[in-house]
Amino acid sequence: MPLAATRTTTSSGCPGTGVGRVRRRGVPASRTRACMSVMTVMTPVIFCGYAAGGYGGPTDRPRGRPELRRRRMRILLLGASGYVGGALWSDWSVRHTVVGTRSARAVPGLIPLDLRDVGALRTLLLDSGFDLVVHAAGLVDLADAERRPDLAMELNAGSVQTLREAVRGTGTRILLLSTDNVFDGVADVYTESSARAPVNAYGRSKSVAEDFLAGEDGHLVVRIPLVYGRSVFADRFMARFARPRTAARTDVVCAPLYLPWLAGALEELWDGEGVFHLGGAQVVTRFELMAGVRDALDLPTEVVAVRGDDPAPAPRRPARLVLRSERHRLLGPGLDQALADLRRHRVSDR
Ligand SMILES: NC(=O)c1ccc[n+]([C@@H]2O[C@H](COP(=O)([O-])OP(=O)(O)OC[C@H]3O[C@@H](n4cnc5c(N)ncnc54)[C@H](OP(=O)(O)O)[C@@H]3O)[C@@H](O)[C@H]2O)c1
* Residue 205 is assigned to a structural domain of this protein: yes
Q: How many domains does the chain have?
A: 1
CA of 140 to the centre of ligand 1 (A): 6
Domain range enclosing 183:
2-227+260-280+323-338
How high is the pLDDT of residue 310?
Answer: 64
* DSSP H helical ranges for 5-158: 29-34, 66-70, 83-92, 118-128, 142-147, 149-152
Q: Does residue 36 lie within any of the structural domains?
A: yes
Name residues contacting ligand 1 (CB within 6 A).
79, 81-85, 102-105, 113-116, 136-138, 140, 155, 177, 179, 206, 224, 226-227, 234, 236
CB-CB contact of 270 with 175 (8 Å): yes
Helix, strand, coil percentages (3-state) for the chain, rounded to 5, are 35, 25, 45
Ligand 1 atom having least distance to the Cα of 106? 40
Q: For 17, which DSSP code? A: T
Atom of ligand 1 nearest to the CA of 226: 3
Quote the ligand 1 centre to 157 CA distance (angstroms): 13
Q: Reduced to 3 states, what is the DSSP secondary structure of residue 42?
A: strand
pLDDT of residue 217: 80
Phi-psi region of 26 (alpha: psi -120 to 50; beta: other; left: phi over 0): left
* pTM, 2 dp: 0.85
Predicted pLDDT of residue 65? 57
Atom from ligand 1 closest to the CA of residue 176:
45
Residue 343 lies in a domain: no
Q: Is residue 163 part of a domain?
A: yes
30 lies in some domain: yes
pLDDT at position 325, please?
A: 97
Considering only CA atoms, which of 64, 58, 71 is closest in space to residue 97?
71
CA pair distance 275, 186, nearest whole angstrom: 21
Angle between helices 83-92 and 262-269 in degrees, nearest 10: 70
pLDDT tens, N- to C-terminus, the chain (350 residues): 222 222 223 233 333 333 333 333 433 333 332 222 222 222 333 222 222 333 345 445 565 555 555 689 999 999 999 999 999 999 999 999 999 999 999 999 999 999 999 999 999 988 778 999 999 999 999 999 999 999 999 999 999 999 999 999 899 999 999 999 999 999 999 999 999 999 999 999 999 999 999 978 899 999 999 999 999 999 889 999 999 999 999 999 999 999 999 999 999 999 999 999 999 999 999 999 999 999 999 999 999 999 886 666 667 899 999 999 999 999 999 999 999 999 998 755 44
Q: How far is the CA of 223 from the centre of ligand 1 (A)?
A: 14
- Decide if 166 is inside a domain: yes
Distance of CA 84 from the midpoint of ligand 1 (Å): 7
DSSP-derived secondary structure letter, 70: H
CATH number of the domain enclosing 273: 3.40.50.720
Q: What does the angle CA 316 – CA 281 – CA 190 come to, to the nearest 5 degrees?
A: 45
Ligand 1, from 83, 89, 204: best to mutate by most atoms within 8 Å of Cβ? Answer: 83
Asked whether residue 248 is assigned to any structural domain, the reply reads no
